[in-house]
Structure 1
Amino acid sequence: MKFNDVIGQKEAKQRLMQMYGENRLPHAIMLCGPSGCGKMALALAFACHILRGGTEEDGKGEAMLAKMEHPDLHFTYPTIKRPGMGSDHKPVSGDFAAEWHSMIMQSPYFTMDRWMRAIGAENQQAIITAGESDELTRKLSLKSSQGGYKISVIWLPERMNIECANKLLKMIEEPPSHTLFIMVCNEPEKLLETIRSRTQTVRVRKIDEESIRKALIERRSISEDAAGRIARMANGDWTKAVELTETGSENDLFLDMFQSLMRLAYMRRIKDLKRWSETMQGLGREKQKRFLEYFLRLIRENFMYNFQCPELTYMSQREEDFAHNFARFVNENNIIPINELANRAIRDIGQNANGKIVFFDMALQMIVLLMQNDSNR
């Protein structure tokens, strides 16, 4: 993995390379930014850059780096407890090393949902346990096999339980010699303040539209016209851009579910809405949250569609076809309560609420909210 493999992010690349080149590496760096912006790709590229000795040329350990199997590169990530694990066993990353390696070798751009599918845990909550911090302490206490840095890449440190977080804090405060922690974080506010204060934060922005457009043409062989439309819809998220290029993408399913909800709510078909909520229950928590995020985006797009300014909307042709008749039902009278409704659902799902109840309540409230159209002014 090299910096040239990272899509866009020129500013973040330069900052990381300058940090290393000027010998100003802290003990811990935290890459923060929105989903799909390439934080893990940056982390891997930076780790490889350091392990090569500060060069982008093929060098020491290149064969191992190409396979992401360098002995001084360690990964930590959320895991689950499988049925076959003993009652005293605290799951660690090593238990899922084969699945992790397979995923990052396919692409350094991935989502939590993809990881949960890889380990067969769509309906579970993955965390980083105290057992992981003990294992990491053991690994980092060993001497570097190549005589340079030892690098610990921690994906989603905000998913550490409190015992693990406290142990990691101690490691950051008293790090082994020549050790660098690179944290890849989606929600830094969920981390202990004491950990955040001891890391150097690098903010990673959404990928610029032109970089996504070029990458779609070069890496996915997408036509220029299609690449431009997809890049606009992706809104800085490469994983979303890739999804939009694939036949039968998740967006198609989400659009179908969105259309069903709105049509059934408009017709006040309570029994069918109950069945709709049961279907949503079967998607799994991570997918439910992604649907709600999609729901929020499409509500916003339909609201903007009413202003008849094409440059303000970011929709596929299917989404726009539906908006042609539906958009008038999303207006200044209900846009805020609809957004609040979806955000409450995201919070409830994240707190392990019963999905069927959450979505049925949401569906019933949509009946009332859709009535608050322009005719009720």
Structure 2
Amino acid sequence: MQFKDIIGQEKVKAHLINTVKENRVSHAQLFLGPEGSGSLPLAVAYAQYINCENKQENDSCGSCSSCRKYAKIIHPDLHFSYPFFASHKEDTASTFIDQWRNSFLRNPYLNLETWRSSLDAGNKQANINIAECHHIIQKLSLKAFEAPYKVLIMWLPEFLDKEGNTLLKLIEEPPEKTLFLLVTQNQDQLLNTIISRTQLVKVNALDKVSLAEFLVREKGVSHEKALQLAYISEGNVQQALSLLSDDPGGGYFQLFVQWLRFCFGARVLDLLQLVEEDLSKLGRENQKSFLLYAIQMMRDVVLFKEGAKTLVHLPEAEMSFVEKFSPLYETAKLEACVSIFEKTSYYVERNANPKILFLDVSLQLVLLFKH
């Protein structure tokens, strides 16, 4: 994984490269970023750059022996730890390394649900168990095989729970030339004792323009569709790819506007037909995507109404809708509308009957905007 392969995040890339150039590589670093932001591929690209035998100005060379092994995730001095679904108490991350390698190479922006789907997880809970902690200590006590640094990349250390205390001494006083890169999505769920022993690398959500450009360039999506996917996913690459897989066709804008128009006009017969012929037939994943789009649109209406127009970046048709719609209702009602959409998405996740659900939501909107 090279920095050039990672979508956007130019400031973070520059910071990481400079730490190597200036010989300021901290032995324990915490990459904190939301799901789909690129924290994990950034950590891998950083480790590859550190151990590259022919470093370039702004990236690893990609062709030396070390880089070739990093590209296949088979370097003997690169170790991974991650949540897994243990069948036996002696299971460790290494038990699932082949599945991990395939999952990461297929999609380095993977989330926990994607990872779960590649395993026979059943109803088991994901965690990083005590056997894994002992295995990490054992692996890192050995000398490096061929690289200047041994590197451990731990994805989602928030799944360590109290077992993480076993690693504290190793993180604080690691063997020479040993690098810990922890990649987390939720700092609040991490042990404070781990946070205090690491240097923070903040990774922001990916900007929507960079994500849209990636979808156009790599996935062959139209510019308009790419912007919509980036908008709905809020810069989450994994979610954008999932939405693309679930809905490779057109967008939701016309359906959303028609639905609201029927709700605001209390056109119950038209609503019945729309629910029957359109909304209920979208399929569960597309229904979730449609509701995500509705939530984002209504949030942008609130931003526009409250004077934060510079934060609203939409294609021409959607922006025109926001401009015309925002003066019609008070903020409290718009926020209540967002809340209704969020609850509906929750029930869609749990396989509620779509006809009953969307009809009920439609009637809620009728009542909300008539009072």
Q: TM-score band, normalised by the shorter chain?
A: 0.7 to 0.9
TM-score (norm 2): 0.73
Partner amino acid, structure 2, of 1:43? A
Map 1:24-103; keep pairs closer than 5 Å. Answer: 24-53=24-53, 55=55, 56-57=60-61, 58-81=63-86, 85-86=87-88, 89-103=89-103
SS at match of 1:246: helix
Q: CA deviation at 1:330?
A: 8.6
Measured after TM superposition, the shift of residue 238 of structure 1 is 2.2
Contact 2:37 2:235 in 1 (8 A): yes
In 1, the alpha carbon distance for the partners of 2:241 and 2:196 equals 35
Q: Which moved more, 1:226-235 or 1:107-116?
A: 226-235
Q: CA deviation at 1:68?
A: 0.6
Give the distance between the partners of 2:290 and 2:21, measured in 1 at CA.
43
Contact 2:150 2:179 in 1 (8 A): yes
Q: Which residue of 2 aligns with 1:174?
A: 173
Residues 1:210 and 1:301: Cα distance change in structure 2 (over 3 Å): closer
* CA 1:339–1:231: 2 relative to 1, 3 Å: closer
Distance 1:250 1:332, change over 3 A: farther
Calculate the aligned-residue CA RMSD, in Å. Answer: 4.8
**Contact kept? 2:54, 2:64, Cα under 8 Å:** no
The aligned residue for residue 107 of structure 2 is 107
SS in 1 for 2:134: helix
Q: Identify if the C-alpha distance between structure 1 residues 199 and 292 changes in structure 2 by more than 3 Å, giving closer, same or farther.
A: farther
In 1, the alpha carbon distance for the partners of 2:361 and 2:111 equals: 30
Measured in 1, the distance between the counterparts of 2:26 and 2:84 equals 27
Extract unaligned runs of 5+ from structure 1: 273-279
Shift of residue 296 of structure 1?
4.6
Q: Which residue of structure 2 lines up, in the alignment, with residue 197 of structure 1? A: 196
Residue 232 of structure 1 deviates from its aligned partner by: 4.2
Q: CA deviation at 1:332?
A: 3.0
| Alpha-carbon contact 2:53-2:66 (below 8 Å) kept | no
Q: Does structure 2 conserve the Cα–Cα contact (< 8 Å) formed by 1:230 and 1:244?
A: yes
* Counterpart Cα distance in 1 of 2:365 and 2:227: 34
1:236-247 → structure 2 map (5 Å cutoff): 236-246=235-245
2: CA distance, partners of 1:291 / 1:230: 11
- Equivalent position to 2:367, from 353, 364, 371: 371
Q: Any idea what the Cα deviations from partners look like across 1:257-314, whole Å, max 9, x if unmatched?
A: xx99xx99x98x9xx9xxxxxxx9x99xxxx99999777546535767999x9x9475
TM-score by length of 1: 0.72
CA contact (8 A) 1:305 1:313 kept: no
Residue 182 (structure 2) pairs with residue 183 (structure 1): yes
- Superposed counterparts of 1:105-254, under 5 Å: 105-121=105-121, 124-163=124-163, 165-246=164-245, 248=247
1:69 deviation in Å? 0.6
Over 3 Å counting, the alpha-carbon distance change for 1:162 and 1:293 in structure 2 is farther
Deviation for aligned residue 1:14: 0.7
Seen in structure 2, the aligned counterparts of structure 1 residues 168 and 217 have a Cα distance that, compared at 3 Å, is same
- Structure 2: how far apart are the matches of 1:209 and 1:11? 16
How many Å apart are 1:333 and its aligned residue? Answer: 3.6
Q: CA deviation digits over 1:121-161, x for unaligned, max 9? A: 37553121122111111111111001411101011111212
Alpha carbons 1:296, 1:342 under 8 Å: kept? yes
Which whole-Å CA distance do the structure 2 matches of 1:168 and 1:115 have between them?
24
- Offset from partner CA, 1:331-361 (integer Å, 9 cap, x none): 6344445666888999x99xxxx9689x999
Asked if 2 retains the 8 angstrom alpha-carbon contact of 1:292 and 1:342, the reply is: yes
* Contact 2:161 2:191 (8 Å CA) reproduced: no
Change (3 A) 1:54 1:20: farther
Quick check: 65-74 or 328-337, which moved more? 328-337
> Against the structure 1 CA distance between its residues 182 and 54, is the aligned structure 2 distance closer, same or farther, given a 3 Å change threshold?
farther
The residue that corresponds to 2:4 in the other structure is: 4
The DSSP-based 3-state class of the residue aligned with 1:151 is: strand
* Offset at residue 179 of structure 1 (A): 0.8
- Cα deviation, residue 243, structure 1: 3.2
Opposite residue 39 of structure 1, the aligned amino acid is S
Match of 1:276 in 2: none
Distance 1:62 1:27 in 2: 21
Unaligned runs of 5+ in 2: 276-282
What are the Cα deviations for residues 348-375 of structure 1, in whole angstroms up to 9, with x where unaligned?
99xxxx9689x999x98997676332x2
Q: Is the 8 A contact 1:329 1:372 kept in 2?
A: no
Aligned-pair distance for 1:168?
2.3
18-27 vs 165-174, greater mean Cα deviation: 165-174
What is the DSSP-based 3-state SS (H/G/I as helix, E as strand, rest coil) of the residue aligned with 1:61?
helix
What displacement does 1:32 show? 1.1
**Aligned equivalents of 1:187, 1:144: Cα separation in 2:** 31
Taking only the aligned residue pairs, the percentage that are identical comes to: 29
Pair 19,338 (structure 1): closer, same or farther in 2 beyond 3 Å: same
Q: Distance in 2 between matches of 1:30 and 1:243?
A: 27
Contact kept in structure 2, 1:244 and 1:251, CA below 8 Å: no
